[in-house]
Structure 1
Amino acid sequence: MDRFSENITNLREYNLPQNQLVQMCDSPQLFRDRYKILKIIGRGGFGITFLAKDAILPGNPLCVIKQLCPKVTNTKSWQNACQRFEKEAKTLAKLGSHSQIPMLLDYFNSHGELYLVQEYVRGYTLAREVKRNGVKTETEVKEFLRELLPILQYLYQNKVIHRDIKPQNLLRCADDGRIVLIDFGAVKEQLADIVTNSPNQPQTNFVGTMGFAPPEQFSLRPVYASDIYALGVTCAYLLTGKSPMEMARNSQTGEICWDEDVKVSDNFAKILHKMLKVSLDERFQKPQDVIRALSIENDLPNLTNCLMTQPLSSKPATNPETPQVYSPSVAKTAIAIRQWKAKLKQKRVMGNR
């Protein structure tokens, strides 16, 4: 039997007071004879998120149930929604093997609505962290990037675009401090496509967050670089404490003027500016490109120390306390040749006397 039934008994528009899970909040009744619904922890345009307990597993671990409510009007659209939902759920299940992406525990259909059950990550969002502890330093933001970029690289390798990276979708795990990326927009986008393809529905299936999503995402053409832009906006928020809607924008390019509110090193500023380019051609294309740029930026102080800071002397330093200046091998060879020629010339002069 197919995982999804063709039951479409509940095709009415989303109605919170009549919602089955809302009515079950903090009651002894179990959802699907398994999940004890505790409370609502999130609401959005595509549904509602609940905190629940698994009454079957030992210890009754907490989990998150996401109820997605596609507003479809016929059996064919509903079947299409189920097929797309199952495809995206399987992708989420595969991604959940990463330690910084919540594990998908189950997915199913019940009375015309779709459900994801994911592991519960105890912690708090980066948005809450900034509000509670204040903005972050350049060093802290670099560390954040070094932790998150490998997750984006993992998504890139699995051909997945998150579509909704922002501080509210980044959790600081209370147990070990790791950053966890939540609330993938891919499932929402598939369901939004169903709404768009349904009769008498407006053609608006944008998935993302105003200010964090780049222009191509508003044109419904997200690419891997779209997540890099959203990550750049998140960095700007961590540095300034301001949402992108509160920041000034360049009147010519439309780019965020985040550097009016905070100063960072020139090299790091160049990286953030390139992450935040409105033009796709000028932006970093892949997570690995940003990782490489950060690595080079991190090595710049060491490279600077290797550069000559004063003219080289042809004579070795006689004072042991005199600091030794680094000389590239080519320069050392040139000095040695000049010294050899000078000695040869001196011998010829002595021989002619």
Structure 2
Amino acid sequence: MANPPGQFLDRAANSAIIQYYQSHQLFRDRYRVIKKLGQGGFGVTYLAQNATLPGEPYCVIKQLCPKAGSELSLERAKVRFRREARVLANLGSHSQIPQLLDYFTTEGEFYLVQDYVHGETLAQEVRRQGRLTEAQVKYFLREIIPVVRFIHRNRVVHRDIKPPNVIRSERDRRLVLIDFGAVREFLSDIDEYGSVKAPATQFVGTPGFAPPEQLALRPCYGSDIYALGMTCLYLLTARTPIEFDQDPRTGGIQWHHTVTVSPHLTTVLDKMLMPDAQDRYASVEELERALELEPHLEALSGCMNTRQRPPYDNADTDLNGATDVYLTPIQREAQAIRKWRTKRSLSRGNQGRSTGLLP
């Protein structure tokens, strides 16, 4: 039987890295551990410096705590760890994802070392300066969509997109998606629809930001789109997911009364937040196209709601008397000839009446 999460956190508290931190010695002869940044069900994160490199650059060391209750499960965890580390290494080639610098196991413990991104999370920004405007939220989406698209093209579902996991770099102001401890590599486990074939063994993510299928251990690419939508609501309202009511019939988030945004963004967010993944955008590319469409909506509306009118008087009446019909040039010409003949006939009749030739 696997040990409960608390026992792993106790083990992390007594781990080798803590001993090096308390003794002020270099961990693995290179890392100077400065402080603990955070702790969760999957591990503990530390801020450190690489003392062997010029300038002793900062880095983040994440100690993972796999729930392995036997030697066999521990070996499986090691295989999974190496596979996940390779995926993180590939993802780290993107400028909006921290680069993986090292990964290793020591004394039965698992460690990832990544670039440290100095800056504020979006959650910290909102707490400091208040909620964002609609224009700022649209800009956020345009900035974050490329990195989510990159992740999905590498067949990875992040599963924990939320304001605390998005940092605005203080150096160049770019948005960086962090905390890939929740990422799972599905290179062989995702089917053509983006769903996991075999159910996962445990929930990964944050309740409220995670959609229903993720809570049911069936995450898909659309799960990240839902999390992006909830993140937008947080940025617009400064409200956490638990502060929104849900429609008891559909399970949809009831948010329209909390903030006023344009009809177009309302439509986009509603689709991002659909409880059923099949009703959301099929991909972030589709979401991106929907956002790019807004500047052209007025012109497109004019194209869809207007009809070219014939240039002749009363030309909206076709040959059979029907109205509001577009006529081809030949039909218009035939109609004009018929009208001319009718007018000439009427003119001749009037002339006859005036001369007394007609009764």
Normalising by the smaller structure, the TM-score range is 0.7 to 0.9
Partner of 1:326: none
Give the partner amino acid of 1:162. H
AA aligned opposite 1:117 = V
- Report the TM-score, using the length of structure 1 for normalisation: 0.79
Per-residue Cα deviation, 1:250-294 (whole angstroms, up to 9, x for no partner): 111111112120011112111100100101221112111111111
Query: Match for 2:227: what amino acid?
Result: A
Residue 278 of structure 1, aligned match among 263, 275, 279: 275
Aligned to 1:249: 246
Contact 1:137 1:239 in 2 (8 A): yes
Question: For the residues of structure 2 that align with 1:306 and 1:337, how far apart are their CA atoms?
Answer: 24
One-letter identity of the residue aligned with 1:242: R
Alignment counterpart, residue 214 of structure 1, candidates 211, 215, 240 = 211
**Counterparts in 2 of 1:163-182, with a 5 A limit?**
163-182=159-178
Alpha-carbon shift at residue 161 of structure 1 (Å) = 0.2
Whole-angstrom CA distance in 1 between matches of 2:330 and 2:46: 75
- Of 253-262 and 124-133, the range deviating more from structure 2: 253-262
2:68 is the alignment partner of 1:72: yes
| C-alpha distance in 2 between matches for 1:262 and 1:26 | 48
Q: Is the 8 A contact 2:84 2:184 kept in 1?
A: no
Indicate the larger mover: 136-145 or 97-106.
136-145
Q: 1:92-241 maps to which residues of 2 (within 5 A)?
A: 92-187=88-183, 205-241=202-238
TM-score (norm 2): 0.78
CA distance in 2, matches of 1:149, 1:227: 10
CA change 1:258–1:74 in 2 (3 A) is: same
Q: Tell whether the 8 Å contact from 1:314 to 1:335 is kept in structure 2 after alignment.
A: no
Q: CA deviation at 1:74?
A: 2.2
1:304 Cα deviation after fit: 4.5
CA–CA distance in structure 2, aligned partners of residues 340 and 185 of structure 1: 75
Aligned length: 314
Task: With a CA cutoff of 8 Å and minimum separation of 6, indicate the structure with the bigger relative contact order.
Answer: 1
Structure 1 residues 220-269: Cα deviation after superposition (integer angstroms, max 9, x where no partner): 11000000011100011111100000111111111111212001111211
C-alpha RMSD over aligned residues: 3.0
1:24: Cα distance to partner?
3.3
What is the alpha-carbon distance in structure 2 between the residues aligned to residue 314 and residue 188 of structure 1? 64
Q: State the identity %.
A: 49
Q: Give the 3 Å change call, closer, same or farther, for CA 188–27 of structure 1 in structure 2.
A: farther
Q: Which residue of 2 aligns with 1:194?
A: none
**1:21 has 2:17 as partner:** yes
Q: Please, which of 255, 258, 263 is the counterpart of residue 255 of structure 2?
A: 258
Gaps of 5+ in 2: 1-6, 187-199, 313-325, 349-359
**Which amino acid is 2:256 matched to?**
D
Consecutive unaligned residues of structure 1, counting only runs of 5 or more, are 1-11, 191-202, 316-330
The CA deviation at 1:97 is 0.4
Following TM superposition, by how much is the alpha carbon of 1:130 offset from its aligned partner in structure 2, in angstroms? 0.7
Partner Cα separation in structure 1 for residue 127 and residue 147 of structure 2: 25
Deviates more, 1:226-235 or 1:150-159: 150-159
Q: Deviations over 1:69-96 (max 9, x none)?
A: 2232322111110100100110000010
3-state SS of paired residue (2:285): helix
- Cα distance in 2 for partners of 1:231, 1:205 equals 22
**In 1, Cα distance between equivalents of 2:329 and 2:23:** 85
Deviation at 1:314, TM superposition (A): 4.8
Match of 1:89 in 2: 85
Deviation (angstroms), 1:57 = 1.1
* Residues in 1 aligned to 2:302 and 2:126: alpha-carbon distance in whole angstroms: 35
The superposition leaves residues 171-211 of structure 1 with CA deviations (integer Å, 9 ceiling, x where unpaired) of 11111111101112545799xxxxxxxxxxxx961110010
